[in-house]
Amino acid sequence: MKFMKLGLNPDTFYTEEATRTVISDVPTDLTIRIDGMSYLLHKSCLVPKCGLLQRLLSEKGDGAVELHDIPGGEEAFELCTKFCYGITISLSAHNFVPAFCAASFLRMTEKVKNGNLITKLEAFFSSCILQAWKDSLITLQSAERAYEWCENLGIVRRCIESIVDKILTPPTKVKWSYTYTRPGYVRKRRDSVPKDWWTEDLSCLGMDMWSSIVTTISSTNMLQPQLIGEALHVYAHCWLLDSSEGSRDSPNRKRRILETIVRLIPAEKGSVSIKFLLRLLSSANSLGASSVSKAELLRLSGLQLDEATLPDLLLPAQSPNAVTSHDIDLVKIVTRSFLRQWKRCNTAGESQSIRAMHKVGKLIDSYLQVVAKDARMPAQKMVSLIETLPATARPQHDHLYKAINIYLKEHPDVSKADKKHLCSFLDCQKLSPEVRSHAVKNERLPLRTVVQVLFFEQEKSNTTTDRKHTSSKQLENSVVRDDLSKLKVTSSAAEEQGNGNRPKVPGTSGALHHSTRDKAQLSQEPSFKVKLEKESEAAGDAAAPQLNPSNRVQMRSFSKMTHIKR
């Protein structure tokens, strides 16, 4: 922080009861009243440098002036008075605003006196304060106490321009000091500057100044939406969430801060986290925020629900009369918001959309497992949250079964009707074998549910047996077809050998030739049977195919055809 010293004389002001005066051998001839304090001063020191006093004294004639509306009050007036007396004063970003406003009020300009206070303050503002990051912030922060004056004098505009210009500076060119206390951040190199280096220091400003800067930054489109979102997150934690600073604020001010933050959230998805959105929505409900803010937070939360983790959903109930310790109603309405947007945006067969639905289904079932342990959790709330999701959100019911089982264990006095209602959501086909094995032994489940699981197990066992039998039949038929094919090939080869490949013997009659060929053909039948038996044995004991009746009929028909041909 930079300082400017003016004047060389020692400070001779002192207080006597409700009067401030200066030690001097010359009697005082000017009385100025500010609120409850009276200043006894000298016209010769003040009037030549204060245009306002020149006008007021010329109009009144006496030496008494009231300046109750001077910006900065008594302290600012005393700074200007000491300057007029040549007393040493020290100026910095902390007292610049009241001094500048008071000097402007008193019209301490160059027209009144050369080298007057406003000229010196303006030089200090331009060359020192606006060049420094933290000095600009401190000046803007103090400007909130005299906003109209600072706005008219251009202090607010010039400070915002300086701050925005520094925020838009590439991190590699940031050479000034800043505050950055994020958990887990380690500055490895001297020139290592995080992209969001400015967010913490900016959060020291009041809501109006802060929102003006964030709005200006967003309008430039030079920073990523995530950086804007981080600035909103830091400010919310400073003044709204988990903050000793924010705890001193009234509910009305907190509500205004929340609504301002919601209005500044960038339109890009993912600019703020789902955890932050859910916490804002919870605060909006407790603070009674506007319906517009609530609707926007609900829309954004539903849009990003598939990005949430279980701890993100574990928000405490805000109402002191809440039945449960967790805000189950909030989770339910956010889930419904997700489903509405999912139905509008879902494209048939889009795998990414289906994955998002499955992630939300698993998330809600995990949430159910936690809230089921709440001793005050009514069964109807469990049911309402379970049935919020469609069947497509749960490709398997293991997590749902676990949640219901936990609830039944923690609430042994639940009625039979509620128990049946809870278990009616379980689909045996979507339970893993391990869970089904657990279910049939679970004494907490209704008998109807256990019977359904047992029936499903039996049906599945029968289906498996039928499939094995069908596979065996198909293998048996395949073996027979292969054997018949091989038989035809063997018979054709033997016939060709008897007709054309057999050598002719001289002196042999045609009758003998045909007789021999017939003998060759007849020898094929016993050969096929022997071969079939060998191949059947070679097929292995594992398959052990047996000819079914239809295949046996085909074999008998083929044997008869062979005898007829013979």
Share of the chain above pLDDT 90, in %: 71
pLDDT attached to residue 128: 96
- At 192, the pLDDT band (50, 70, 90 cuts) reads confident
Tell me the pLDDT tens digit for each residue of 88-128.
999 999 999 999 999 999 999 999 999 999 999 999 999 99
Whole-number average pLDDT of the chain: 84
Contact of 92 with 1, CB cutoff 8 Å: yes
For the cut 70, the answer to whether the pLDDT of residue 164 exceeds it is: yes
Check residue 250 and give its pLDDT: 87
Q: How many Å is the Cα radius of gyration of the chain?
A: 47
What does the pLDDT average to over 35-47?
A: 94
pLDDT at 560: 38
What's the rounded Cα separation, in Å, for the pair 204 and 552? 95
Q: Residue 154 carries which side chain, given as an amino acid letter?
A: G
Reported as type and span, the H/E element at residue 555 is helix 549-565
- For residue 346, give Cα distances in angstroms to 350, 353, 355: 7, 6, 11
H or E stretch at 6? strand 4-6
Tell me what pLDDT residue 61 has: 73
Helical ranges in 265-397 per DSSP H: 274-287, 291-303, 310-313, 328-345, 351-371, 379-386
pLDDT for the residue numbered 29: 93
Query: Residue range 456-460: average pLDDT?
Result: 84
Q: State the pLDDT confidence band at 322, using cuts at 50, 70 and 90.
A: confident
Measured distance CA(285)–CA(330) in Å, rounded: 9
The pLDDT score that the predictor gives to residue 249 is 78
The pLDDT tens digits of the residues spanning 474-492 come to 555 565 555 556 555 555 5
Which pLDDT score is estimated for 559? 39
**Which of 296-300, 323-327, 497-501 reaches the highest mean pLDDT?**
296-300
Given a contact cutoff of 8 angstroms between Cβ atoms, the answer to whether 402 and 368 are in contact is no
Distant-in-sequence, close-in-space partners of 545: CB < 8 Å, separation ≥ 6 = 472, 475, 476, 479, 480, 536, 539
Q: What pLDDT does residue 482 have?
A: 58
Q: What is the pLDDT at residue 449?
A: 94
pLDDT at 536 over 70: no
Percent of the chain having pLDDT more than 70? 78
Judging by DSSP bridges, how do beta strands 4-6 and 13-16 pair with one another? unpaired
Reading the block at residue 365, the tokens are 């079932």
The token duo for 509 is 């009659």
Q: What pLDDT does residue 460 have? A: 77
Q: What are phi and psi of 433, to 5 degrees?
A: -55, -35
Handedness of CA 448, 453, 456, 458 (dihedral sign): negative
- Whether the per-residue pLDDT at 358 is higher than 50: the answer is yes
Is 237 strand, coil or helix?
helix
527 pLDDT above the threshold of 60: no
The pLDDT of residue 488 is 54
Helix and strand totals (H; E) in the chain: 26, 7
- 494 pLDDT exceeds 70? no
Q: How confident is the model at residue 319 (pLDDT cuts 50, 70, 90)?
A: confident
Which has the higher per-residue pLDDT, 512 or 109?
109
pTM for the full predicted model: 0.78
Q: Is 72 exposed, middle or buried (0-12, 13-18, 19+ CB in 10 A)?
A: buried
Q: How far is it, in rounded angstroms, from Cα 135 to Cα 203?
A: 15
pLDDT at 381 over 70: yes
Indicate the DSSP class of residue 372.
T
Mean pLDDT of 45-55: 96
